[in-house]
Amino acid sequence: MKPELGELLEQRSLAFYPGCVATSIYPGVIYSSIKVLEKLGFKVSSPEHMICCGLPLEIAGMMDRERLVKLADYNLRNFIKHDVLVTPCNGCYRTFNIALEAAASSNASNKARCLHVAEVLWSLREELREVAKTSLEGLNVVTHVGCHYVYAMPSKAIRGEEGEDLLEDIALSLGMKVLSYEEKATCCGATAIKWPRVLEALSPISKLKVTSMVESGADLMVVMCTACQLMLDRTQYQLWSLGELDRVIPVLHVSQLVGLALGLHPLEDVGLHLHLVKPLHLGASSITGLFRENDHSGSPS
């Protein structure tokens, strides 16, 4: 286990940094993450201000690594104010870790560590199994870990033990069936920019990814990055609207999935009604009933 993860499990106190996408598009990920962590015995603080990590500006060629490090330092010292930062976004995870490594190599005094909420949940998956109030058995899931966790920080990435990746491990611990799909290692395409100009290049990779995941027959997708969540949610909705996809499935962040298992309300707490691709039956009395349709002919509602 990563030393910083072991330390966190002992001290059980952290600051939760949501990132821009969760803040402005999927606040259910924020609430689910905080409530799940609290139910697992963590003391969770929130930043005084949510300040972007800077990755969008970096990929647009508008910001360099030196300024990213300065921004991260300003963010940590003035608003996050905790030695342990936990985030639900792979981009923020990668950016803060790069900044903290750069600070460490220059002997700067900031000793903060950045972990991913999926890592925390993965390390406590046995405990999740015991405290789960709602059964997710019977649901089929496909997972997408995301490039900025797997490839950008490979030495820090946690690999799967029971399954192929940490998300599969978590899903299996909750009694779900994990399906495989051909494009599992493919990028979701979220970091493509200049959308209007590169639509021809973007559409193939995102469509490839989404089609492969949907054709697996899964009831839902599970991700650990809010940027991936947005890309997969939006791409499905767009392709369905264009008639290029005849079935769509909800994309849940792992925090939302675990939140459902621990008894959080699908709409009031987890915010599934805010997604573009919503569960088939928002008013279902069971979690399985939210996602299952006999003829698998779901559509955005």
Partner 1 sequence: MGVLMKRGEPCEDLWLCLLCHACEAVCPNAVRIPEIVEEMRRILVDKGLEQSDLEVYLEVLDNILSSGVMMVPVSAEVRSFSEAKELSLRPLSDEVRNKLREIIKFEGSGALEGLKGEA
Which residues contribute to the site for partner 1 (CB under 8 A)?
A: 18, 20, 23-25, 27-28, 30-31, 48-52, 54, 56-65, 67, 70-71, 74, 78, 147-148, 150-152, 154, 185, 187, 189, 191-198, 201, 205, 271, 273-274
| Cα–Cα dist 105/88, whole Å | 26
Cβ burial of 61 (10 Å; 0-12, 13-18, 19+) is exposed
Could you tell me how many residues make up the chain?
Answer: 301
Taking the least distance from each CB to partner 1, the nearer of 67 and 81 is: 67
Taking the least distance from each CB to partner 1, the nearer of 73 and 169 is: 73
Residue with tokens 């490090």: 69
Shortest spacing between CB 280 and partner 1, in angstroms: 19
User: What residues are paired with 97 via a beta bridge?
Assistant: none
- Decide if 245 contacts 239 (C-beta within 8 A): yes
Shortest spacing between CB 135 and partner 1, in angstroms: 26
Taking the least distance from each CB to partner 1, the nearer of 35 and 125 is: 35
Per DSSP bridges, beta strands 177-178 and 140-144 are: parallel
| Cα–Cα dist 256/5, whole Å | 21
Name residues whose C-beta falls within 8 Å of residue 138's C-beta, 6 or more positions apart in sequence. 177, 288, 292
User: What residues are paired with 45 via a beta bridge?
Assistant: 15
Shortest spacing between CB 189 and partner 1, in angstroms: 6
Shortest spacing between CB 217 and partner 1, in angstroms: 26
Taking the least distance from each CB to partner 1, the nearer of 74 and 108 is: 74
Q: What SS3 state is found at 159?
A: strand
Q: How far apart are the first and last CA of the chain?
A: 42
Shortest spacing between CB 31 and partner 1, in angstroms: 5
Give the phi and the psi of residue 159 in degrees, each rounded to 5.
Answer: -95, 160
| Cα–Cα dist 139/230, whole Å | 22
Taking the least distance from each CB to partner 1, the nearer of 60 and 108 is: 60
User: What residues are paired with 142 via a beta bridge?
Assistant: 221
Shortest spacing between CB 292 and partner 1, in angstroms: 25
Shortest spacing between CB 198 and partner 1, in angstroms: 6
Nearest Cα to 102, choosing from 73, 134, 69?
Answer: 69
Structure tokens at 297: 């002919």
Taking the least distance from each CB to partner 1, the nearer of 211 and 226 is: 226
Shortest spacing between CB 260 and partner 1, in angstroms: 16
Taking the least distance from each CB to partner 1, the nearer of 9 and 267 is: 267
Taking the least distance from each CB to partner 1, the nearer of 93 and 139 is: 93
Alpha-carbon Rg of the chain, whole angstroms? Answer: 19
